[in-house]
Structure 1
Amino acid sequence: MRILKAGGFFTESWQDSEIIVLGGPSGTGKTELTLNLATYLRKTLVRGCELLDLDFVKSDFTLRSGRYRLEVPLRQSFSVARFSEYPVWEKDVLKLFSDASLESPLIIDLGGDERGLRIFRSLAPFWQKKRVYCSLVVNFHRPFFESVESYSSFVYQTEKRVGIRFHSLILNDHLGHHTDETLVKQAFEKATLLSQKLALPIWFVAVWEELGLPFSFLDSLDCAVLGIRRYLNLAWNVGGDEANGGFQKHQSGDN
């Protein structure tokens, strides 16, 4: 991930955060953004960080699925019961919350369904006393979430049921290589309306680095713009030692 257009709010908004949560409906791109943000912190800002996967919806496209590869290996802690219907938390996972600090923040990929939100609520005793920064990831090309109203409803239900207060939103709206200036502009207009309705600032707009959108266009967007990389590797592109997704996986008791 690299900054294509700077914006002071991008850095200032979360510098004093110990836990950074990316939330939103399933399929908005939270996992890819989580990996990009974690890599950015480790490589650019030289900050330690940990990853925690609380997405229990898309088993094939979660951090623990082994389908993601990173330039900088990040340690992901998980339970030996990670593939069970409901997670069984072990001490090393819970320790991530207690160890979260300004120097080594915990970055959470939060599942977007009811079960994922309830799981996060069950962990409230471990995060309520921490400095938490939560950003809503929106993608207006996801089924059932094409409108401002759908995201407004999601935020209302999340805050009501889980007690999470969102601090900003991230626009991650793309259609692969079909993404162009017109598409981004239309999505940004919707995101602006959503930002005004929810009284949440836009943290940044995420676009794929490889698209090469002109700076003159990016400069017209009234917020930071970040170029993200795709770390997803489908099964037919991954093999051998690379299949571990780039993580140094360990279970309880490992050093």
Structure 2
Amino acid sequence: MNRTIARLTMRGLLSPRRLLLLSLIPLVLLAVAGLLRGLASGLAIDESTTVLATLGIGTVLPLVALICGTGAIATEIDDGSVVYLLAKPIGRPTIILTKYVVAVFGAVLLAVIPITLAALILVGADKGVVLAFAVSALVGALGYSALFLLLGVVTRHAVVVGLLYVLIWESFVGGAVPGAQALSVQQWSLSVGEKVADDGLISAAVSLPVGASLLTAVALFGLYFAVQRLRSLTLAGEQ
């Protein structure tokens, strides 16, 4: 990891203006959680976990990870400034790893922590659900960040493609269509939370070994191919 790259990426990714705009996404989740707690103090635990799974893990997390993952490198590639970075004697794996760490940090700050707070609001601190969703969100951030970082390297339309993926696949197909759920990062993340939570409080479409294995594979392959794609870029900025 390169500290200079990390600092510059952080400055661009989490600038005050962008941070303010990004904060609107998790604020929606917190507002919904507060509204549900205020209007229905007796909200059943299964209803609370459904809200956290669909709105938190299935929507807020991938949206934030999309912006952080693609924003960590896509802008530099689009405007051609990446050539200055590639001209430095810094290995491509170091560049990608640094960008990945920053993207994960952004996802943790703007998605994992708010999802945990939303869980606290909805179910209170006496349930294993809070820890379960915190862990689910964290492992999901690791998978999503690698996936969207790769997307930011391979296409100039990363945000559009990623948005379609999040809204169509993760939020709709992966969350509701049987069979297709097995190929959803959302369900892989929830499989980890299902193990952490008390029996029956969280339900995932895949088992823990399958979910953890696929999450690991997506993260590793995403980073690997991002490195390979970055190596294919020329100092003239051509792709």
Instruction: Give the TM-score, by structure 2 length.
Output: 0.26
- Pick 1 or 2: higher relative contact order, CA cutoff 8 A, min separation 6: 1
Which structure has greater strand proportion?
Answer: 1
Q: Greater helix share, 1 or 2?
A: 2
